[in-house]
Structure 1
Amino acid sequence: MRKYRHAIFDMDGTIMDSMPVWKNLGKDYLIKKGIKVPENLNEVISAMSMTESANYFRKELKIMDYPEQIISDMNQLIRDKYRYEIPLKPYVKEYLSYLQKNNIIMCVATATPVQLAELALKRLEVLQYFSFIVCCDEVGSGKSKPDIYYLALKKMKASITDTIVYEDADYAIRTAKNAGFYTIGVYDEYACKPKKEIQLLCDRYIDSFECLLELGDL
């Protein structure tokens, strides 16, 4: 694996433990508004967009704010979480330091807006390990298409054959793998698919970055 000289890291669920923020967003919003949280809230809104969730809150929970205001308030909650609260996953900083010492060029490819990503990574003191951050908005598509990985390659002046992609989500792993990348799947408690299914998709699977540190490997 020493041939790999470049690394593309997903952020949410891979190096940052941020998925609970999205999972609990509706609940946190209602608590802040002083509204009782329905027991089945996450089950009801998990597949909804923010706009759909806002309309649900208005119709079912009698929130009088316009949908645009509800969405704005939820976005502010998310910004505050990234700015002040979301932690790194265990051993991430140590692993990034290890890669840097081995002259691996690294970047972040994320669906999160770049400004939010920078705020969080700077607060967590790992921004300096990455050459740049690319966001799905820059390519106009999510990780069901490989465009964001190709953009990262171009900016790193790298090739697919010497680049590793680290992801937690099954669809992103599948996309990167189908594009020809070596993929490392990272366990996340909130992954949409069972661990066994994700293990079958990637070239290598880790429960924690500690595994790679112990092996002294990429």
Structure 2
Amino acid sequence: MLHKTKAVIFDLDGTMADSMTVWTDIDHLFFKNRGITVPKTLQQDIEGKSFTETAEYFVKTFSLPETVEELKAVWHSQAIEQYQYHVALKPGILEFLTYLKSRSVKIGIATSNSRDLLNAFLEARSLTGYIDVSVTSCDVSAGKPAPDVYLKTAELLKISPEECLVFEDVPMGILAGKRAGMKVCAVEDAYSADQRTRKRELADFYINDYFQILQSDYEVLP
């Protein structure tokens, strides 16, 4: 998997962090407090969108009184404690990051989440020193599945896209990495369990945890 790889770029939620249930809980509380029925298509409607794009979608779709910036502030206040103290690392990620550093492979993060929540998560777990570059989808023109966030990360890492390996947990993120011309490894996550078939169709590799890479026990997809 790592043959000819000079940089590894991770998505955050569902990929490095076991955090997708945080947003499920926030969304359900949000709709409950406003007396709005949770749309059945919510997951697919917002998948891959940046933090800002998601807020714009909510404000417009549900005719909310908040501005986009006010809604982002509400979500941040609801999520910050979870990201600092409760969200777990994906199994084997710390060991994999240590391995990459030992091989002088550059490490980037390309996330749809906010920079404040990303930084809070990394700092609380003493991971900042592992990361060479981090880019959020709010830093570029379009969120996933557009390739922008991955191309920008590669640019800042000064590594060509074809020498980058992406780790992603949902189809829109996998598409973003592939459209950037990068290899992509799909990561198992309970939140996207119903999308496993699609993830396998799009990605180059599949893992249940990062220990599989260190043990050369990952799945190579056709």
TM-score normalised by the shorter chain: which range applies? 0.7 to 0.9
Structure 1 stretches of at least 4 aligned residues deviating more than 2 Å after TM superposition: 26-31, 40-56, 66-75
Q: How far did 1:188 drift?
A: 1.1
Taking structure 1 as reference, are residues 44 and 166 closer, same or farther at Cα in structure 2, changes over 3 Å only?
A: closer
- Deviation string 1:137-196 (CA, Å, 9 cap, x unpaired) is 111210121111111111111012211111111122123213321111111111275212
Q: Which residue is 1:51 aligned to?
A: 59
Q: Is the 8 A contact 1:54 1:67 kept in 2?
A: no
- Deviation string 1:117-138 (CA, Å, 9 cap, x unpaired) is 0110111222211112111111
- Greater CA deviation, 70-79 or 7-16? 70-79
Q: Is the 8 A contact 2:148 2:180 kept in 1?
A: no
- Deviation string 1:70-103 (CA, Å, 9 cap, x unpaired) is 8343431022322332121111111111111111
Q: Is the 8 A contact 2:108 2:134 kept in 1?
A: yes
Q: Is the 8 A contact 2:80 2:120 kept in 1?
A: no
Please state whether the residue corresponding to 2:118 is helix, strand or coil. helix
Q: Please, which runs of 5 or more residues in structure 2 have no aligned partner?
A: 47-56
Whole-angstrom CA distance in 2 between matches of 1:75 and 1:135 = 15
Q: Which residue is 1:109 aligned to?
A: 110
Q: TM-score, normalised by structure 2?
A: 0.79
Q: TM-score, normalised by structure 1?
A: 0.80
**Amino acid in structure 2 at the alignment position of 1:169:** V
Please state whether the residue corresponding to 1:145 is helix, strand or coil. coil
Q: Which residue is 2:153 aligned to?
A: 152
Please state whether the residue corresponding to 1:158 is helix, strand or coil. coil
Taking structure 1 as reference, are residues 151 and 41 closer, same or farther at Cα in structure 2, changes over 3 Å only?
A: closer
Whole-angstrom CA distance in 2 between matches of 1:181 and 1:198 = 15
Whole-angstrom CA distance in 2 between matches of 1:70 and 1:180 = 36
**Matching of residue 176 in structure 1 with residue 177 in structure 2:** yes
Taking structure 1 as reference, are residues 141 and 70 closer, same or farther at Cα in structure 2, changes over 3 Å only?
A: closer
Larger Rg computed on CA atoms: 1
| 1:65-214 equivalence runs, <5 A | 67=66, 71=71, 72-191=73-192, 194-214=195-215
- Greater CA deviation, 169-178 or 44-53? 44-53
Taking structure 1 as reference, are residues 139 and 2 closer, same or farther at Cα in structure 2, changes over 3 Å only?
A: same
Taking structure 1 as reference, are residues 191 and 145 closer, same or farther at Cα in structure 2, changes over 3 Å only?
A: same
Taking structure 1 as reference, are residues 208 and 137 closer, same or farther at Cα in structure 2, changes over 3 Å only?
A: same
Provide the aligned C-alpha RMSD in A: 2.9
